[in-house]
Amino acid sequence: MRRLSLAAGLILVLSNLPSMTHAASPKTYTLTYGPKDLGTWDTLVLGKSKSGLYDGASFDSSNGPGFATVQLTRPLRAVDRQSLYSSLPPANGQLVVRTSQDGTTDLVTTCPKSTISDFGSTGDPGTGTEEITFACTSIVGPIAPN
């Protein structure tokens, strides 16, 4: 009798296993830079930089502490290749990153004062990627990369 109830319990657990181990959807990152909504991005990488590019000119803080960086990528869209960079607000704007998963915003992180240090695209719309990197004076709040 005991073996029968143990076997029934194992069957019940194993039959429910696929539903208990379903994979969570990937995280997405929604950006706002100053007043501009920059849409949703797929990956996020945090880093530190002592130099970079801004509006075609390089900056260098080799003698200073450097800047925290927030780099995001997503599939390239033709409309962004044509006008996203030219429509970005001037430097020193507030960056807000909302991290979402399964349609729910889990984390909100801000860079109170940031500068776009690099922006570019690789490949063609539909198959290529675009990347944007912000240099931040500080990062406030939690951020959970992929």
| Residues 72, 43 contacting (CB under 8 angstroms) | yes
- pTM score over 0.85: no
Q: Is the pLDDT of residue 144 over 80?
A: no
Distance CA 29, CA 105 (A): 9
pLDDT of residue 124: 87
Sign of CA dihedral 105, 107, 111, 114: negative
Q: At which residue do the structure tokens 């109170």 appear?
A: 112
Tell me: the pLDDT tens digits for 99-114? 998 878 888 889 988 8
DSSP state of 66: -
Q: Residue 17 — φ and ψ, nearest 5°? A: -55, -50
Q: Residue 50 — φ and ψ, nearest 5°? A: -105, -5
Tell me: the pLDDT tens digits for 19-62? 444 556 888 999 999 999 999 999 999 888 776 655 455 666 66
| Residues 134, 115 contacting (CB under 8 angstroms) | yes
**Strands 51-54 and 93-101, how do they pair?**
unpaired
How is the chain split into domains, by residue range?
24-136
Q: Residue 106 — φ and ψ, nearest 5°? A: -95, -40
- The DSSP code sequence of 28-52 is EEEEEETTEEEEEESEEEEEEESEE
